A and B are shown apart, each in its own frame.
Chain A
Amino acid sequence: MARVVVLGGGIAGHTAALHLTRLVGRSDEVVVVTPNSRWNWIPSNIWVGVGRMKSDQVTFALGPIYKRTGVDYRQALATAIHPEGDGGDGRPYVEITYTDPVRSGKTDTLEYDYLINATGPKLNFAATPGLGPDGFTESVCTAGHALEASNALQESIEKMKLGAHQVIVVGVGHGTCTCEGAAFEYAFNVEHEVRQAGVRDKADIVYLTNEYELGDFGVGGLIFTQQGFQTTSKLWTESLFRERGIRAITGAHVEKVDEGVVFYEQVDGTKSTLQFDFAMLLPPFRGVDLKAYDAGGADITDRLFATSGFMKVDADYTAKPFEEWRAEDWPSTYQVPRYPNIFAVGIAFAPPHQISEPRTSPNGTAIAPSPPRTGMPSGIMGKLAATNIAEMIKSGSSNPVHTASMSDMGAACVASAGSGLRHGSAASMTMYPIVPDRVKYPNTGRSLDDTFGEVGLAGHWIKLLLHHLFIYKARALPGWWLIPE
């Protein structure tokens, strides 16, 4: 009998846990440790953030799903990993602190044979003074945050209806943020809502981003073919900004936020301020506060985790200049060196470097979008870890067989640009691979056959379809596993 402990119940962790329930033997145990009681389909938080969906349409209770699928569910926060145990029988374990109402604050230990770290990000609002719901800006990172953003946006729209002019700022709140695609989506959904409310002329909408140029999306931009020409996501995105009348400030690091004003620095070193009435700025991510100790109790957190707090896996972490980055630097199994029974997937693994070229301002400020690895890649990695662990349990081997490097993995991104079955719109994009492979695709870094972008109502239908499909899948309803990640 083997026990697999999954830390985290988000897209990567929940996907891993569900696949494990169907792949491991009946005598094997699957345990999920997550501080949250509800699962959240985060991509649809955008629609909660503009009032087009309620928070319970994008979340559901995890308890009943895990009870039905036979998962031992611990609503708790993992605080430490002991990958070598305490020296006695050497059985590794994790320390947890319960967060459910009954056992809140009580600590416990959980032994494991295999561990999947899918703890996702810590929303690091603290990196930028004044950023976030406890400061002066909104967020859509959780369903709760999105609901607050929706209420604040509605207040702003009401003021516009009364004749007031409003400056709406949407973007990212630090030079090292990721998920620019989500900020882009929110900006266009806000523009759509303001237009639908008949007050578009009262709103100055500004997209504030750390991307060096529009269309970068943290992946260095895309090149695709359109009507017989190669074009760029930069041109394509700028066209959308022009069409919708949205201003953009690029290559920006937000230094701090005060009430109604953002202070930012750009790649060229200029420092500016931007007044706002409503602002939604995403926070940077870092790894959750998880410690690690060896058999003697010595702190080995630095050995398992990068300085960003994300877990080091089978990647090449050698520091090298942008020109020397290779597709092979990226991990393929997400197995932790020295501890073959630990895997880190989704946002929890430490990327070897950015995908977009990192830049530094003359003042020494890093303006470097972090690599996106949410959604589709997270789900794929979760399933990969589950599949490898199930086979390792059966074979007794410590070598995972299956691989899924982000340099050999595609992604489909549908960035909503307004909702409604007849009036909605979205920018649909696919890319293959996510991490450019300059050896395999010397001119563009990616396959031109599999990388494309298109704007239209069809994209909105696809986003809606994905919303229902993935919630169906996450609820583990009949045939869920047939729905791809």
Chain B
Amino acid sequence: MDDTTSSISSAPLPTARTLRARKNPAIQFWRFVAINIKMLKIIRKEHH
């Protein structure tokens, strides 16, 4: 199962810009809103 080690070593690494975006409070605030909307959409599907 060394395939996993090999897969990890060739997995895409996030760029410095992506890493900064993941920590940027302003960007993350909008992602917070967007993800919550996605979650609410799923919850709304569950009313039978």
Residues of A at under 8 Å CB distance from B?
Answer: 213-214, 234-235, 238-239, 241-243, 247-252, 266-268, 270, 380, 402-404, 408-412, 422-423, 425, 428, 430, 432, 450, 452, 454-459, 461-462, 484-485
Of the residues B12, B35, B41, B43, contact of A458 by C-beta under 8 Å: B35
> Known: A423-B23, A457-B25. Contact between A242 and B8, CB under 8 A?
yes
Per-residue CB proximity of B1-23 to A under 8 Å, as 1/0?
A: 10011011101111000010111
For the complex, what is the distance from the CA of A249 to the CA of B35, rounded to whole Å? 31
Of the residues A213, A235, A270, A456, contact of B4 by C-beta under 8 Å: A213
Please name all residues of chain B whose beta carbon is closer than 8 Å to the beta carbon of A250 when the two chains form the complex.
Answer: 1, 4
For the complex, what is the distance from the CA of A107 to the CA of B9, rounded to whole Å? 58
**Nearest-neighbor residue (CB-CB) of B36 within chain A:** A462
Extra contacts, 19 of them, besides A456-B28, A457-B23 (Cβ < 8 A), are A235-B11, A235-B12, A242-B13, A243-B13, A249-B1, A252-B1, A380-B46, A410-B45, A412-B42, A432-B45, A450-B41, A454-B31, A454-B35, A456-B23, A456-B31, A457-B24, A457-B28, A458-B28, A462-B35
Of the residues A238, A450, A454, A458, contact of B42 by C-beta under 8 Å: A450
**Nearest-neighbor residue (CB-CB) of B42 within chain A:** A410
Contact call B36/A404, Cβ cutoff below 8 A: no
Residues of B at under 8 Å CB distance from A?
Answer: 1, 4-5, 7-9, 11-14, 19, 21-25, 27-29, 31-32, 35-36, 38-43, 45-46, 48
Contact call A242/B1, Cβ cutoff below 8 A: no
Please name all residues of chain B whose beta carbon is closer than 8 Å to the beta carbon of A456 when the two chains form the complex.
Answer: 21-23, 27-28, 31
Minimum distance in angstroms from B46 CB to a CB of chain A: 6
Which DSSP category, helix, strand, loop or mixed, fits chain A's interface? mixed
> Known: A410-B42, A457-B28, A458-B35. Contact between A241 and B8, CB under 8 A?
yes
> Known: A452-B38, A455-B22, A462-B32. Contact between A251 and B12, CB under 8 A?
no
Contact call A239/B11, Cβ cutoff below 8 A: yes
**Nearest-neighbor residue (CB-CB) of A423 within chain B:** B23
Q: 24 A-B Cβ contacts within 8 A?
A: A214-B7, A214-B8, A238-B11, A239-B12, A239-B14, A241-B8, A242-B8, A270-B1, A402-B48, A404-B48, A410-B43, A410-B46, A411-B42, A412-B38, A428-B35, A430-B38, A450-B38, A452-B38, A457-B22, A457-B25, A458-B29, A458-B32, A461-B32, A484-B40
For the complex, what is the distance from the CA of A268 to the CA of B23, rounded to whole Å? 40
Please name all residues of chain B whose beta carbon is closer than 8 Å to the beta carbon of A266 when the two chains form the complex.
Answer: 1
Contact call A484/B8, Cβ cutoff below 8 A: no
For the complex, what is the distance from the CA of A251 to the CA of B4, rounded to whole Å? 10
Minimum distance in angstroms from A327 CB to a CB of chain B: 15
**Nearest-neighbor residue (CB-CB) of B14 within chain A:** A243
**Nearest-neighbor residue (CB-CB) of B11 within chain A:** A238
Please name all residues of chain A whose beta carbon is closer than 8 Å to the beta carbon of B28 when the two chains form the complex.
Answer: 456-458, 461
Total CB contacts across the A-B interface at under 8 A: 100
Minimum distance in angstroms from A166 CB to a CB of chain B: 20
Contact call A239/B13, Cβ cutoff below 8 A: yes
> Known: A456-B21, A456-B22. Contact between A241 and B11, CB under 8 A?
yes
Please name all residues of chain A whose beta carbon is closer than 8 Å to the beta carbon of B41 when the two chains form the complex.
Answer: 450
Please name all residues of chain A whose beta carbon is closer than 8 Å to the beta carbon of B19 when the two chains form the complex.
Answer: 243
Minimum distance in angstroms from B5 CB to a CB of chain A: 7
Closest 8 CB pairs of A and B: A410-B42, A238-B11, A458-B31, A458-B32, A456-B22, A457-B28, A458-B28, A412-B39
For the complex, what is the distance from the CA of A462 to the CA of B34, rounded to whole Å? 11
Minimum distance in angstroms from A373 CB to a CB of chain B: 14
For the complex, what is the distance from the CA of A455 to the CA of B31, rounded to whole Å? 10
Minimum distance in angstroms from A251 CB to a CB of chain B: 6
For the complex, what is the distance from the CA of A229 to the CA of B11, rounded to whole Å? 16
For the complex, what is the distance from the CA of A57 to the CA of B22, rounded to whole Å? 27
Contact call B7/A238, Cβ cutoff below 8 A: yes
Contact call B8/A238, Cβ cutoff below 8 A: yes
> Known: A241-B11, A457-B23, A459-B35. Contact between A247 and B5, CB under 8 A?
yes
**Nearest-neighbor residue (CB-CB) of A240 within chain B:** B11
**Nearest-neighbor residue (CB-CB) of A239 within chain B:** B11
For the complex, what is the distance from the CA of A266 to the CA of B46, rounded to whole Å? 38
Minimum distance in angstroms from A275 CB to a CB of chain B: 17
Please name all residues of chain A whose beta carbon is closer than 8 Å to the beta carbon of B13 when the two chains form the complex.
Answer: 239, 242-243
For the complex, what is the distance from the CA of A409 to the CA of B40, rounded to whole Å? 13
Please name all residues of chain A whose beta carbon is closer than 8 Å to the beta carbon of B1 when the two chains form the complex.
Answer: 249-252, 266-268, 270
Minimum distance in angstroms from A420 CB to a CB of chain B: 10
Minimum distance in angstroms from A193 CB to a CB of chain B: 17
For the complex, what is the distance from the CA of A423 to the CA of B1, rounded to whole Å? 34
For the complex, what is the distance from the CA of A423 to the CA of B43, rounded to whole Å? 29
For the complex, what is the distance from the CA of A485 to the CA of B43, rounded to whole Å? 8
